Amino acid sequence: MWEQIRSNRLRSILLVAVMGAFLIALGWLLGYSIAANGIAGVVIALAVYGLLNLVAYFQGDSILLSVAGARKIKREDHPRLYNVVEEMKIASGLEKMPDVYIIDDPALNAFATGRDINHASVAITSGLLQKLNRDELQGVIAHEIGHVKNRDVLLMAMCSVLLGTIVIISYYGSRIMMFGGTSGGSRRSSRSGGGGGGAAIVMVVALLLMILAPIFAQLIYLAISRRREYLADASSALYTRYPEGLASALEKLASSSVPVKNANQATAPMYIVNPFKSRGLKMNELTSTHPPIQERIRILRTMAGNVSPAAYDQAFRQVKGAKSGIISPQAAPLVGAVGIRAASADTTPLEPSEEKITRAREVSDLMYKLDDYRVIDCNCGTRLKIPPALRGKTIRCPHCGRSYQA
């Protein structure tokens, strides 16, 4: 939506281009040292990349959602979540309502996926849905919608496919060179007699690149991922006009140490916080998909009174002590001050414990419903939740002993 996000995309695309250059160099060197044909190597590398990319583009979101065990919900299933998503859809100016998914997992996390802004989905774990009040939920959903709106989902999918291709080609390339290609190459050079020096150098460079390319590509990938997290935080502050919501949600996320059940390395950058957190262990900043949570919270809390992207940028520089911000400086002053809004009602700690219980009950009822449980209200006040396996059988209430036909 904002100009600076577009110019930031340019920077991300530059990093992707470097990764692409790695892939092409790798393909050429491998092709040259295995079959003495660099071009063929490049063509094969690009073909593998193209194929994987097509799969990721058209099937990526459904693969991701089914791997994570996400289930689609309707408005009636959880009105509050659905309303919050719709509010953020309106605030961000998205044209189409994203699909809303829920993941049955006590871990606290959420992610967005979808190849473009018209095929977007937002998923949240039942644990997180239970823990957050309305303002916090809004901050988290706004962060996810920010990913959709900033086109991060497509960018990160492209990047992870690029990284995957580099890893695959390095892996198989090194094996072919060791067990097949090398002997063929030496036979050829011995036949031609001399002149093998050049080929040997290419081979050494190819081997080096095969070892280094996956590492560098991974580091670039992580750098892009962290940058997009900051941007999505800035979008969240802008959409909700209330950075404290996301900050306090992140605080709750930071205090939980339950790792996400069905996350893997490829899906990690999609989540709102790193799904493989290990508490107490300071993650090296270079090797993480996400910026440190505490830092994200500090940045959000530093931008008091103004929620424009420029204010986020200023807070970012202040907290990081960095000269260059996350949002490009030539575009940042264009947006004026954008005021903050007041906290919404249910944030005030009226009856916090009662509210927490209500939220937990809402979510567990929803999970039972999604698992196709039936509910019978017994006359003694007990709610019987009947699993689908017991349907058609007679159930006895454990408290008063009345019998029901399920």
Question: Under the rule (CB under 8 A), what is the footprint of other proteins?
Answer: 1-3, 79-80, 83-84, 86-88, 90-93, 95, 134, 238-239, 241, 334-336, 342, 344-346, 348, 350
Rounded to whole angstroms, the Cα distance separating 6 from 134 reads 30
The least CB distance from residue 286 to other proteins, in Å, is: 35
Q: Where are the alpha helices (DSSP H) in 68-115?
A: 79-92
Instruction: Using the minimum distance from each CB to other proteins, give the nearer residue, 35 or 343.
Output: 343
Contact indicator for 91, 113 with CB cutoff of 8 Å: no
Do the beta carbons of residue 240 and residue 138 sit within 8 Å? yes
SS3 376: strand
- Distance in Å, CB of 369 to other proteins, minimum: 15
Let me know: does 215 contact 261? Beta carbons within 8 Å.
no
Handedness of CA 13, 16, 20, 22 (dihedral sign): positive
What would the two tokens of residue 380 be? 């003694």
| Residues known to be catalytic | 144
Compare residues 145 and 161 and give the one whose CB is closer to other proteins: 145
Residue closer to other proteins by CB (options 169, 340) is 340
Nearer to other proteins, 157 or 238 (CB): 238
Cα–Cα distance, 77 to 357 (Å, whole number): 18
Give CA 112 to chain center in angstroms.
6
Q: Where are the beta strands (DSSP E) in 109-172?
A: 110-113, 121-125
Nearer to other proteins, 356 or 391 (CB): 356
| Residue 280 CB burial class (10 angstroms; 0-12, 13-18, ≥19) | exposed
- Going by C-alpha positions, the residue among 383, 192, 164, 354 that lies closest to residue 265 is 164
Q: Smallest distance, Å, CB 341 to other proteins?
A: 8
CB of 350 to other proteins, least distance (A): 6
Q: How far is the CB of 357 from other proteins (least distance, A)?
A: 14
Cα 356 to Cα 144: distance, rounded to the nearest angstrom? 24
Q: How far apart are CA 121 and CA 31, in angstroms?
A: 40
Q: Of 52 and 335, which has the nearer Cβ to other proteins?
A: 335
CB of 80 to other proteins, least distance (A): 6
CA 269 from chain centre, in angstroms, equals 4
